Amino acid sequence: MKVIPRRRAAVYTVTDAPKPMSEDISYRQRRYLISMGIRTGCFVGAVLSAMLGAPLWLVVLLVVGALFLPYISVIFANGGREPQPTARFTDESTNRKPISGHGPEIGS
């Protein structure tokens, strides 16, 4: 008679669940708004630096930032959900040392 080894039952934990969609969307919106704030800073900086006679390379760098940040921001915002690390639980019962000595007495 052939003995078939039993499989362990799959154990699912709450930590295996992905973040709620609303939390993921709010994270992507926040990241997009920060990027658009940086873009606005680049645009205002380009205008002010051009008016104040800053070096041309600085003005060009700020203009390039103001032009390309929206494209990059939209790509990252629409990129999909962020990958989530999964929790790893191990059975530590085999690695434990036996308790030696007397245990505490109840009521003493």
| Region for residue 89 given its phi and psi (left: phi exceeds 0; alpha: psi -120 to 50; beta: otherwise) | beta
Phi/psi for 60 (5° steps) reads -65, -40
Residue 87 in this model has a pLDDT that exceeds 60 = no
Q: In Å, what is the CA distance from 24 to each residue of 9, 82, 103?
A: 31, 8, 48
What is the band of 81 on the pLDDT scale with cuts at 50, 70, 90?
low
Q: What pLDDT, in 10s, does the model give residues 2-49? A: 666 667 776 666 666 677 888 888 888 888 899 889 999 999 999 999
What was the pLDDT predicted at 26? Answer: 87
- Average pLDDT of the chain is 77
